[in-house]
């Protein structure tokens, strides 16, 4: 089976992890500090906090912003559920906004009309690795005194109008799950230039406990154990050194698909806006006749191709339905989520594999 995504681990990664296993530190220690320094640099920000997952990163980002019961946060339905789930976890209400049909990111032209007296923040996602329209979104956030959180789980290594993802929002969250740009097994991080938010996130990562000037542990906030281990961070550092190469290879594979699909009129190819450099987390096509989508998916799986769906609209999940979110809310999101299909894309995907996948698609449409 050709999976839709996978990690790229080499001997050097393995050596770095083994070296840590022989060191005195296994849990959060010097390797985490080193990884954080490199992460901040990659994102073009002052501070990075490494944590145990992308979900933990979102949870801490939302808590640091001070979200609480009754607060509303405008977000996208085209994302992994965790973006909205962690809003619910802190008691806030996700207010979904329709997406654009070219990038499948939140439609910045539809955000402002959703702002109410209760709105406290905007939480956007760089879908498939392409940054959302951050200049306009940042302008809206500042005009209404809202904090801006960017879930960049797909877009580490991408840039927007020449600026690295990481420096485009008040808080940027990352995931290092194996299908993402770099892997640490499980892992995530929050990036920011705001010292106060940084201090809060660090405190909440480890039980809300800090050492006072006499070396005593003092707990001042209700925190968690969301620490990353040095074992994971050693892998992260080794992976991060290869980030640019990984993203180049992902861009290359997306070009191969584009070449293969020239003239195939039954599908809509993904588009990248000219001012974006995408991290190409996933390769999503749309089927022009949505009724054919599930049949095509079953055929691809039978051929050994790990086609997937990213994503069903978050509000259609049973949990959200029970909370009273309606089923058919947005024109673009409905059309998108019924016609999308994800094809394999990762740094070591071969030219001939792309050719095989494209040939299967072409044959099926014939």
Which residue has the closest beta carbon to ligand PLP?
A: 54
286 binds ligand PLP (CB under 6 A): no
287 binds ligand PLP (CB under 6 A): no
Among 151, 170, 260, 333, binds ligand PLP (CB under 6 A): 151
Between 87 and 360, whose beta carbon lies closer to ligand PLP?
87
239 binds ligand PLP (CB under 6 A): no
Between 79 and 229, whose beta carbon lies closer to ligand PLP?
79
104 binds ligand PLP (CB under 6 A): no
Between 231 and 361, whose beta carbon lies closer to ligand PLP?
231
Q: How far is the CB of 127 from ligand PLP (least distance, A)?
A: 8
Among 39, 48, 82, 313, binds ligand PLP (CB under 6 A): 82
Q: How far is the CB of 114 from ligand PLP (least distance, A)?
A: 20
Q: How far is the CB of 173 from ligand PLP (least distance, A)?
A: 7
**Residue 29 CB burial class (10 angstroms; 0-12, 13-18, ≥19):** middle
128 binds ligand PLP (CB under 6 A): no
Show the site string, 183-202: x = touches ligand PLP by CB under 6 A, - = not: -----x--------------
Site size toward ligand PLP, by CB under 6 A: 14
Three-class DSSP labels, the chain: CECCCCCCCCHHHHHHHHHHHCCCCCCCCHHHHHHHHHHHHHHCCCEEEEECCHHHHHHHHHHHHCCCCCCEEEECCCCCCHHHHHHHHCCCEEEECCECCCCCCECHHHCHHHCCCCEEEEEEECHHHCCCCHHHHHHHHHHCCCEEEEECCCCCCCEECCEECCCCCCEEEEECCCCCCCCCCCCEEEEECCHHHHHHHHHHHECCEEECCCCCEEECCCCCECECCHHHHHHHHHHHCCHHHHHHHHHHHHHHHHHHCCCCCCEECCCCCCCEECCCCCEEEEECCHHHHHHHHHHHHHCCECCECCCCCHHHCHHHHHCCCCCCCCHHHHHHHHHEEEECCCCCCCHHHHHHHHHHHHHHHC
- Retrieve residue 5's tokens: 């995504």
Q: How far is the CB of 179 from ligand PLP (least distance, A)?
A: 7
Among 80, 138, 261, 330, binds ligand PLP (CB under 6 A): 80
Do residues 69 and 87 make contact, with C-beta atoms less than 8 angstroms apart? Answer: no
Q: Which of 284, 299, 242, 246 is nearest to 6 (CA)?
A: 246
Between 188 and 344, whose beta carbon lies closer to ligand PLP?
188
Length of the chain (residues): 366
Among 20, 28, 83, 316, binds ligand PLP (CB under 6 A): 83
Q: How far is the CB of 338 from ligand PLP (least distance, A)?
A: 20
Among 76, 167, 172, 175, binds ligand PLP (CB under 6 A): 175
Q: How far is the CB of 222 from ligand PLP (least distance, A)?
A: 21
With CB under 6 A as the contact rule, which of the stretches 151-159, 242-250, 266-274, 287-295 interacts with ligand PLP?
A: 151-159
With CB under 6 A as the contact rule, which of the stretches 80-88, 208-216, 321-329, 337-345 interacts with ligand PLP?
A: 80-88
Binding site for ligand PLP (CB under 6 A): 53-55, 79-80, 82-83, 125, 151, 153-154, 175, 177, 188
């Amino acid at each position: 089976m050709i999976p839709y995504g996978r990690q790229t681990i080499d001997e050097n990664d393995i050596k770095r992890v083994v070296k840590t296993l022989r060191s005195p530190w296994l849990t959060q220690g010097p390797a985490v500090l080193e990884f954080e320094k490199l992460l901040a640099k990659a994102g073009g920000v002052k501070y990075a906090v490494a944590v145990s997952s992308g979900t933990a990163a979102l949870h801490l980002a939302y808590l640091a912003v001070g979200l609480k019961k009754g607060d509303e946060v405008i977000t996208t339905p085209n994302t992994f559920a965790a973006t909205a789930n962690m809003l619910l976890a802190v008691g806030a209400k996700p207010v979904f906004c329709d997406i654009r049909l070219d990038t499948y990111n939140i439609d910045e032209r539809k955000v402002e009309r959703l702002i109410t007296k209760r709105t406290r923040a905007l939480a956007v996602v760089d879908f498939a690795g392409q940054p959302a329209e951050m200049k306009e979104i940042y302008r809206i956030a500042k005009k209404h005194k809202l904090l801006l959180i960017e879930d960049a789980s797909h877009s580490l290594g991408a840039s927007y109008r020449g600026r690295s993802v990481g420096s485009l929002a008040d808080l940027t969250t990352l995931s290092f799950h194996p299908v993402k740009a770099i892997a640490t097994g499980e892992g995530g991080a929050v990036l920011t230039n705001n010292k106060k938010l940084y201090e809060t996130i660090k405190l909440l990562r480890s039980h809300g406990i800090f050492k006072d000037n006499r070396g005593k542990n003092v707990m001042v906030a209700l925190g968690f154990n969301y620490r990353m281990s040095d074992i994971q961070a050693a892998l992260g550092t080794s992976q991060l050194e290869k980030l640019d190469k990984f993203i180049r290879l992902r861009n290359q594979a997306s070009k191969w698909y584009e070449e293969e699909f020239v003239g195939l009129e039954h599908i809509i190819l993904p588009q990248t806006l000219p001012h974006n450099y995408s991290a190409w987390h996933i390769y999503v096509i749309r089927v022009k006749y949505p009724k054919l989508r599930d049949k095509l998916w079953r055929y691809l799986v039978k051929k050994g191709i790990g086609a997937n769906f990213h994503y069903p609209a978050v509000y259609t999940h049973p949990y959200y339905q029970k909370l009273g979110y309606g089923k058919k809310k947005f024109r673009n999101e409905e059309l998108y989520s019924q016609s999308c299909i994800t094809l394999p894309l990762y740094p070591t995907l071969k030219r001939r594999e792309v050719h095989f996948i494209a040939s299967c698609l072409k044959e099926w449409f014939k």
